[in-house]
Structure 1
């Protein structure tokens, strides 16, 4: 039986046969550890005495965006990251300047610290991040945990945090943006309620559903709702939803659209699996990634990995997945061309491809702790979902 929140985000199946070990993750933040992995070539570049400064950011209880924002406000250093790490874990990642310098800072705060690594001659690029290593404790797991050996049979779904976890709304906001319902997007951001959310949050969102109460709501919006605070101020000032959306950080505007694309991708995998498509091994005429991460046509190379279209305005139709994607888009009431936005051009997305299955390396189990490495963009929670088979993912720490 698939939990309701899974179907809310487009995940309609399990792909492994294990009965699940049960248990809970993230009982404490120390139970969930993530370390970023970069290429050996990138490591070897970090050595010079000046250039672009590289740091290790270690954090606990704060996401990457907020940590880097605080560092900029307190120290005046603007840093970029190769990837985003959420707040519900202890994480370690590389961050760097995009300007040359010979200075280095060290920062120690309760939720994060910044340590000097070195300098590079060229700015690190996202291509140099190859993935993440995870070490996760599963409290209360049965001995089914030690028996799990199907980590090569897991589809590459987007995980719960992509959609907002307790409040799966990011893809719904993205859908409104693509449908050009900008007022609806603002309403969803402020007032969408979820059965999984906390009661106090739900009461506040019910207040924000009434436009005449925006000023009242602004006075009591908690610190964590910074996007809502921006939206309320803008709507009070001028009531223009497009201006309001454009006042949000660019990365967030784009993230909403990416979340909607992720929802369509999850549905594509679910529908293709249900129809009996081969999703773990490429077939003739498929589009594949090779061992170097380059996209190309099927060549009967065992190191090639099947990729599935990620819809955007330049969506490639000539794959066996076109039938399913077209049906999903029809049901959603959109076309792939809607991913080009004339009104808010910066959220436009051409689309691309994504691996159909997860490549899980160095998988180990010791007592109730699992460790493994995943390539960039794959979600540990999707691996854990197959191992644990939780009845309620959110109460199980997902």
Structure 2
């Protein structure tokens, strides 16, 4: 089987799941070549009222964006329109995306259309409650693969083998630092978390970025580095600004928006999840088929994951679930739990460490995630190669695409 690129291994992705040789090529090379649209539960849209009144008081928008991830898009909207919105899922910056965004407060006469440099919002109506993640079912993708050397061949027959890995963008893509910061937060090493966030570099950093991060290694240079730091490094600017003001590491980290800070700890959980699945596959485990001792999602429909149950022979459709690391993690008899328990020991971390007393708002309980990717409606066309498919919420299109393309250099290939 083809060797895995080093950057994948750094994110805990240590194997391929399919024997498909790969089409080669690249993604995200042009505007509109990577399109994402949210799929929501049918009851969600049925519960949207076109007019304000009664129980329907919270504005709901469709947010179309390009060139920013969802968190930074919300920050941009907040700066321009003084409006706080929430979304159900985080969408990548290198994509043209369409998703729902809701106001967290009642609003009688909101604008029908709002626009910023990277976003446009269209009012859809009003909901009874502020927007919540429970209404998101998944995402639909339409992606062009440039310079592909082959077609998809028998790839569709192997999709069921693909593990539900978190993609590189979960970890910062070319910088690949978020899980490292999260690990130090979990270990209460906030000084190291600050240092990583400001100073960590990879081979993909520009020379100017390397120079600024090098200056940040010495606190005596903080004020000068802040003046030179480009606006695009907004998270670093917020952190560095707090340090210049004399704040201690925990207080300085709180200058970073809470949605971003939570992503750090969640990225560390994601890294452990990726390693767990990688080790299971390396041991010859079939991660797509449940077996005795597994915890499973009970399927409520063709792509709806229901309650967590123990594996049984009732004949109901079940999908293996992996218990995520978190402060409620308790190893049971399941094969994935045993691997996660061993990983935590290797990391010198215990489950209770994910309850962060110093920053309780970042504490992570754990939860469950399906082991296989669970792709639906995969289709492809040639000249250029274009693929479309649907994934459940929380799953990454790039996880499927790395199996399809088998890129030797993922960052240059657009991952």
Q: What is the TM-score when the length of structure 1 is the normalising length?
A: 0.97
Q: Which moved more, 1:69-78 or 1:313-322?
A: 69-78
Q: 1:131-210 residue pairs with structure 2 within 5 A?
A: 131-149=138-156, 150-210=158-218
CA distance in 2, matches of 1:109, 1:261: 33
Q: Which moved more, 1:170-179 or 1:107-116?
A: 107-116
2:115 maps to: 108
Q: 1:212-231 residue pairs with structure 2 within 5 A?
A: 212-231=220-239
List gaps (5 residues or longer) in structure 1: none
CA distance in 1, matches of 2:258, 2:237: 16
CA distance in 2, matches of 1:350, 1:273: 26
List gaps (5 residues or longer) in structure 2: 301-305
Q: What is the TM-score when the length of structure 2 is the normalising length?
A: 0.93
SS at match of 1:56: strand
> Do 2:331 and 2:341's aligned partners in 1 also have CA atoms closer than 8 Å?
no
Alpha-carbon offset, residue 239 of structure 1: 4.8
Q: 1:1-398 residue pairs with structure 2 within 5 A?
A: 1-50=3-52, 51-105=57-111, 106-149=113-156, 150-292=158-300, 293-300=306-313, 301-318=315-332, 319-367=334-382, 368-398=385-415
2:303 maps to: none
> Do 1:136 and 1:370's aligned partners in 2 also have CA atoms closer than 8 Å?
yes
Alpha-carbon offset, residue 345 of structure 1: 1.7
Alpha-carbon offset, residue 340 of structure 1: 1.4
Alpha-carbon offset, residue 316 of structure 1: 2.9
> Do 1:48 and 1:121's aligned partners in 2 also have CA atoms closer than 8 Å?
no
CA distance in 2, matches of 1:240, 1:63: 29
> Do 1:49 and 1:102's aligned partners in 2 also have CA atoms closer than 8 Å?
no
Alpha-carbon offset, residue 326 of structure 1: 2.3
CA distance in 2, matches of 1:96, 1:122: 9
1:278-326 CA distance string (max 9 Å, x none): 2111112311112242222223345211101100111031122233212
CA distance in 2, matches of 1:354, 1:270: 15
SS at match of 1:269: helix
Alpha-carbon offset, residue 147 of structure 1: 3.6
1:81-139 CA distance string (max 9 Å, x none): 11111211000000111222232321234421111211122333211100000000000
RMSD of equivalent CA atoms:
1.4
SS at match of 2:35: strand
CA distance in 2, matches of 1:142, 1:268: 32
1:184-235 CA distance string (max 9 Å, x none): 0000000001112222212211111121111110001111111111111221
> Do 1:174 and 1:258's aligned partners in 2 also have CA atoms closer than 8 Å?
yes
1:4-27 CA distance string (max 9 Å, x none): 001101000000010000001011
CA distance in 2, matches of 1:251, 1:69: 10
> Do 1:307 and 1:356's aligned partners in 2 also have CA atoms closer than 8 Å?
yes
CA distance in 2, matches of 1:57, 1:361: 24
> Do 1:164 and 1:170's aligned partners in 2 also have CA atoms closer than 8 Å?
yes
1:171-190 CA distance string (max 9 Å, x none): 00011111111100000000
CA distance in 2, matches of 1:65, 1:233: 20
Q: Which moved more, 1:250-259 or 1:183-192?
A: 250-259
SS at match of 1:162: helix
Alpha-carbon offset, residue 361 of structure 1: 0.7
